Structures are given as structure tokens and as C-alpha cells.
Amino acid sequence: MPLMIRIAKRPRPIPIDANGDESAAETARLRDAEALALLNVLSARGKFIVNGEGITVAVVDTGVRHSHSLFHRCIGKSNIVASINLTEDNFGVCYDAWDGAGHGTHVAGIVLQVAPAAKLAIVKALPSGDGTEPHFELIDRSLRWVLHHQREYHISVVCLSLGDDQVHRAPPTADEYNTTATLIAQLTANDIAVVAAAGNHYAKNPTLGMCFPAILPDCISVGAVYDHDSGEP
């Protein structure tokens, strides 16, 4: 049986109209996002003189709504340098990574709010929620794609806002985890940082540990920040 995936929850949806543009009020909220202040992002940019310039992040998720204004630095110029669809969504068209769920769009938007000069390589490896269960075989294909195209797109970070929805105290050793773990180790050996969601449900299941692949020593595990300490947004 394939190893199944759960995507990390997004704190709030980004409302997008039929043209892919957010409202002016939503734009203002995004610019003043709680997380930017809680993470001291603006002061870090000034102190270390960094804004993502020269970095390409591969976002492995449900795709992206590329017409959203967040992904355009100026008219006619997009932060997105590559996109590929590995799912059956969008009639299985390999270059159509349109996001029908919104999760990948939200994750990619977070990347650009923190590192506005970064470029994005969008890898649609998760279906948009039509009843098809996502599984790690598509994640493995995504990681192979990143390895193959690292130099072409100057990829130095992989973003995995997903996990197996289990709580692990140590890296799992079952066979179904081996391929993904090996690929992540190869990415790390090739100087690509792999960032993965630490988990999703601690408030409901307060057990120490992390989900896979965040539990791997070759992953950088991340959580979320929220200005209301309710355990979960």
C-alpha cells in the first residue's frame, strides 16, 4: 500500500477571484502578515542584507495560481521560472501546474513574503482534492525532478509543506520510507536544503515527535507562528 500524505494546514485561505487577483484588503493583510513580525523578517532582511536574490525554491505541493499578483514583481515578469504537473489534474498536461486547491498557492506566497526576490520552481505533486489520495510516489518523482534540474534553475531549497500524518520519535525504517529518505539525502549532499512541515495536529494529539519526512536528519523541520496561542489556527 502506498505511503499516504497529508498537507500542512494553511492558517487562513487567500481569497482569489476568477481572475486570480486578491482584493485590496487582502493585499494589505498579506503585507502586514502576523508571521513577518513574529519572525522578525523585516529586521533580518536589513541586518543581513538578504531578500532571496539568487535563490530558487522548488515548491512541491498542489501547484500554483500563477496569475496571482504575488507572483509578479512587475508587469509581464514572474517570479516563477519553471512549473511541472506530475498529477492527473488539469487533464494530466505536464506543464499545467494550476492549483485547484489553494494550498500550494498559499505556501508559495509565504516564500515570497519572506524572500520577495526569490524565484520559484513549481512542482505539482499533490492533486487538488478530487478524491484522489496523494502518496509519496509522486513526491519521489518530484525530488528526482529537482535533482535533474538543479543546475538549470539554480535550485537551492525544496519546500515540502506536507507529511505522513504520523508522529515519529525517530526516523522510520520501514521499506516504504526508504526511497524518499534516500532522495532527500541526495538533495542535501548536492547542497539543496530540504524544508518540511514538522507536523499538523499537536493540539489534538499532544505527542512528542514529528511527521515524515521532517523527522529525517537531512531535513530542516519547521512549525508555524500565530499571534493567538490557541494551539492551532
Strands (E), the chain: 6-7, 56-61, 72-74, 77-78, 80-85, 119-124, 155-160, 162-163, 193-197, 219-222
Whether residue 205 has pLDDT greater than 60: yes
Decide yes or no: CATH 3.40.50.10860 for domain 52-222.
Answer: no
What pLDDT, on a 0 to 100 scale, did the predictor assign at position 93?
A: 77
pTM of the prediction? 0.84
Among 162, 166, 155, which residue's Cα sits nearest to residue 202? 166
Mean pLDDT of the region 145-174: 95
Comparing 90 with 212, which gets the higher pLDDT?
A: 212
What pLDDT, on a 0 to 100 scale, did the predictor assign at position 219?
A: 97
What string of DSSP letters covers 28-40? HHHHT-HHHHHTT
Residue ranges covered by each domain of the chain:
52-222
Q: Are 111 and 105 in contact (CB under 8 A)?
A: no
Q: Is the peptide bond before 13 cis (omega within 30 degrees of 0)?
A: no
Instruction: Report the distance separating Cα 14 and Cα 21, nearest Å.
Output: 10
